[in-house]
């Protein structure tokens, strides 16, 4: 049995930064807005609730210098040059094939960069403050602005604002299916609420319900069997089960983003706090369960390389590696800020003792450390900048901060790859309208945040929260005018 609910102008699915930005923006324009949220109140907000919400900005008004360049360099796979040429023409002249290409097109990159500053100024008006606060990265290549109070402050401030504007929140409610009319226009949403199926009607639905990092079946389908070794980086990710993406694909939406990938972050699997990151690996060596090195631990500054290194960890047996350090880690100023785990290091007076504690063959670990130590060269160790202190004749090499591991006591942190969010989602235009497989907007349907596919191969760091705010707001602005 389906129960009819009162109609609304706009229904927003999800209450992270994308959903709340959409809800508040729509309500400011006089729309009657309903927010559908799977979590209970007080635990809502998705991934945004648990993140520090780094923003790739050099000021409140200006994106970082490498912002558009980084996105352009990671806009897809091996894109057909014909489409790249077509992308240089005005959007109105693009073919249907071009509009639905699985790539991050210049229209979206440009819109994102242009809208970032005005969106942050709008968030300031709502009551959110921004500052250049300390981060977990000891070495960096780009600038990062942060909201004071992190993502939690964004969720709480925007929720309070939405309620003051009359937004109707439905917590512990799961969006199940989009309703369309005979022309294919989205006219409502079916929702499971307290065991009852309810119908919400509206002139527009904005999908901001995250990716599918909380859905084991979708992870196995798109990322493969190794996905069993992944876990969401924070509790909010477990609520993201992919319904928003699935229900849109079911009515003919075009996919976008790298469905076989995700944003990877190195975390300590022993810790149960949100985002128990371990960004200390450039100062030691990483070994797998066989006790062998498998990657360059320090090819660049940690903020620029942590994702690629974490992906190599994910590829190892059981998706785990062990960071091996010695007492010289104390030479690195303020090194503990790169650790977000609540668990202490595993320690051993000898490598053999340490190997037994972590379940790695002691002889293999000793051999690996000896080979590494023999390859280390004399040079000046500069812990807070790329120092070029690299190994010689070792495969894989270590490009920076390569010093022998030879001073007890020895320390270890286990590391796995966290799934911060999945990359695959829906194709949208500059107004966050969801496009169908023929490149035309699906009337009445929008997507923002993780639900909209945006990233390929390498995550452009410190942009996901910003992306949610920008396109959530743009979706509401367009939908309010329907």
User: Do both 353 and 447 map to the same domain?
Assistant: no
Residue 240 in tokens: 């993201």
pLDDT grade for 6, boundaries at 50, 70 and 90: confident
Q: What is the mean pLDDT of residues 58-76?
A: 96
Share of the chain above pLDDT 90, in %: 97
**Domain holding 176: CATH number?**
3.50.50.60
Q: Whole-number mean pLDDT of the chain?
A: 97
Residue 7 CB: number of other CB atoms within 10 A? 15
User: Do both 333 and 452 map to the same domain?
Assistant: no
pLDDT at 5: 67
Q: Which of 418, 446, 464 is the last residue of a domain?
A: 418
pLDDT at 338: 96
CA dist., res. 473 & res. 406, Å (int): 54
Largest Cα–Cα distance in the chain?
Answer: 75
**Domain holding 370: CATH number?**
3.90.700.10
User: Do both 410 and 429 map to the same domain?
Assistant: no
Residue 214 contacts by C-beta under 8 Å, 6 or more apart in sequence? 232, 237, 238, 239, 240, 241, 242
Query: Which whole-number Å values give the CA distances from 260 to 14, 130, 213, 238, 336, in the listed order?
Result: 23, 34, 12, 18, 33
Which residue in 14, 472, 468 sits closest to 239, CA to CA? 14
User: Is the CA virtual torsion 320, 210, 128, 113 positive or negative?
Assistant: positive
Which residue in 5, 256, 215, 282 sits closest to 108, CA to CA? 256
Tell me the per-residue pLDDT of 285-343, one tens digit each, with 9 for 90 and over. Answer: 999 999 999 999 999 999 999 999 999 999 999 999 999 999 999 999 999 999 999 99
Q: Is 0.85 topped by the overall pTM?
A: yes
pLDDT at 437: 96
Query: Which whole-number Å values give the CA distances from 390 to 159, 287, 360, 366, in the listed order?
Result: 50, 18, 26, 20
**196-207 vs 186-193, strand pairing mode:** antiparallel
Tell me the per-residue pLDDT of 249-261, one tens digit each, with 9 for 90 and over. Answer: 999 999 999 999 9
DSSP string, 141-167: SS--BEETTHHHHHHHHHHHHHHHTT-
Q: Which helix H or strand E contains 377, and what residues bound it?
A: none
Which residue in 265, 264, 203, 243 sits closest to 425, CA to CA? 243
349, burial (CB in 10 Å: exposed 0-12, middle 13-18, buried 19+):
exposed
CA dist., res. 325 & res. 312, Å (int): 19
User: Do both 360 and 459 map to the same domain?
Assistant: no
Residue 189 contacts by C-beta under 8 Å, 6 or more apart in sequence? 11, 13, 36, 175, 176, 177, 178, 179, 199, 200, 202, 205
Residue 331 CB: number of other CB atoms within 10 A? 12
User: Do both 169 and 277 map to the same domain?
Assistant: no
Distance of CA 157 to the CA centre of its chain: 22
User: Do both 147 and 195 map to the same domain?
Assistant: yes
Q: Which of 383, 402, 418 is the last residue of a domain?
A: 418
pLDDT grade for 458, boundaries at 50, 70 and 90: very high
- What is the rounded end-to-end Cα distance, in angstroms, of the chain? 31
User: Do both 394 and 429 map to the same domain?
Assistant: no
User: Do both 279 and 411 map to the same domain?
Assistant: yes
Residue 255 CB: number of other CB atoms within 10 A? 16
User: Do both 161 and 39 map to the same domain?
Assistant: yes
pLDDT at 112: 98
pLDDT at 1: 54
Query: Which whole-number Å values give the CA distances from 74 to 67, 100, 109, 133, in the listed order?
Result: 11, 17, 11, 27
User: Do both 243 and 312 map to the same domain?
Assistant: no
Tell me the per-residue pLDDT of 111-140, one tens digit each, with 9 for 90 and over. Answer: 999 999 999 999 999 999 999 999 999 999
Report the number of distinct structural domains present in the chain. Answer: 2
Residue 286 in tokens: 């990483």
Tell me the per-residue pLDDT of 339-393, one tens digit each, with 9 for 90 and over. Answer: 999 999 999 999 999 999 999 999 999 999 999 999 999 999 999 999 999 999 9
Residue 156 CB: number of other CB atoms within 10 A? 17
Angle value at C-alpha 400, between 399 and 405, nearest 5 degrees? 105
Residue 34 in tokens: 């309903």
CA dist., res. 98 & res. 80, Å (int): 10
User: Do both 326 and 342 map to the same domain?
Assistant: yes
pLDDT at 209: 98
Domain range for 404:
264-418
Whether the CB-CB separation of 323 and 415 falls below 8 Å is answered with yes
Share of the chain above pLDDT 70, in %: 99
Tell me the per-residue pLDDT of 260-275, one tens digit each, with 9 for 90 and over. Answer: 999 999 999 999 999 9
User: Do both 333 and 361 map to the same domain?
Assistant: yes
Q: Which of 398, 418, 438 is the last residue of a domain?
A: 418
Whether the CB-CB separation of 149 and 48 falls below 8 Å is answered with no
């Amino acid at each position: 049995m389906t129960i009819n609910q009162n109609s609304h102008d706009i229904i927003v699915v999800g209450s992270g930064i994308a959903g709340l930005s959409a809800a508040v923006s729509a309500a400011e324009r006089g729309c009657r807005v309903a927010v559908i949220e799977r979590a209970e109140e007080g635990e809502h907000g998705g991934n945004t609730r648990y993140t520090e919400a780094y923003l790739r900005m050099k000021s409140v008004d200006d994106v970082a210098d490498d912002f558009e360049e980084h996105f352009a360099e990671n806009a897809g796979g091996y894109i057909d040059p014909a489409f790249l040429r077509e992308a240089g023409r005005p959007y109105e002249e693009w073919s249907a094939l071009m509009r639905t290409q699985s790539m991050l097109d210049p229209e979206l990159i440009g819109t994102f960069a242009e809208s970032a500053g005005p969106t942050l100024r709008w968030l300031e008006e709502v009551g959110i403050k921004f500052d250049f606060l300390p981060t977990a990265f000891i070495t960096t290549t780009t600038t990062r602005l942060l909201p004071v109070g992190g993502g939690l402050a964004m969720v709480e401030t925007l929720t309070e604002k939405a309620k003051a504007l009359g937004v109707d929140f439905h917590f512990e409610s799961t969006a199940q299916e989009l309703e369309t009319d005979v022309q294919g226009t989205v006219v409502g949403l079916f929702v499971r609420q307290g065991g009852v199926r309810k119908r919400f009607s509206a002139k527009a639905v904005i999908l901001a319900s995250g990716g599918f990092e909380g859905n084991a079946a979708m992870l196995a389908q798109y990322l493969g069997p190794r996905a069993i070794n992944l876990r969401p980086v924070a509790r909010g990710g477990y609520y993201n089960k992919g319904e928003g993406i699935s229900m849109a694909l079911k009515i003919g939406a075009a996919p976008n983003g790298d469905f076989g990938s995700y944003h990877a972050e190195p975390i300590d699997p022993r810790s149960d706090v949100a985002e128990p990151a371990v960004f200390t690996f450039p100062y030691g060596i990483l070994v797998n369960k066989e006790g062998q090195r498998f990657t360059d631990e320090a090819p660049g500054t940690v903020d620029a390389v942590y994702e690629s290194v974490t992906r190599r960890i994910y590829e190892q047996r059981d998706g785990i590696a062990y960071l091996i350090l010695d007492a010289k880690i104390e030479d690195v100023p303020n090194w503990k800020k790169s650790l977000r785990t609540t668990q202490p290091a595993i320690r051993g007076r000898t490598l053999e003792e340490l190997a037994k504690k972590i379940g790695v063959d002691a002889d293999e670990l000793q051999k690996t450390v000896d080979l590494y130590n023999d390859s280390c060269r004399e040079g000046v160790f500069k812990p807070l900048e790329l120092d070029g202190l690299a190994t010689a004749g070792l495969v894989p090499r270590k490009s920076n901060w390569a010093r022998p591991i030879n001073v007890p006591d020895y320390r270890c942190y286990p590391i796995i790859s966290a799934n911060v969010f999945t990359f695959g989602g829906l194709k949208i235009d500059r107004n966050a309208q969801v496009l169908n497989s023929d490149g035309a907007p699906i009337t009445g349907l929008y997507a923002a945040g993780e639900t909209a596919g945006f990233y390929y191969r390498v995550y452009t760091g410190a942009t996901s929260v910003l992306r949610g705010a920008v396109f959530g707001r743009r979706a509401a602005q367009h939908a309010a005018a329907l």
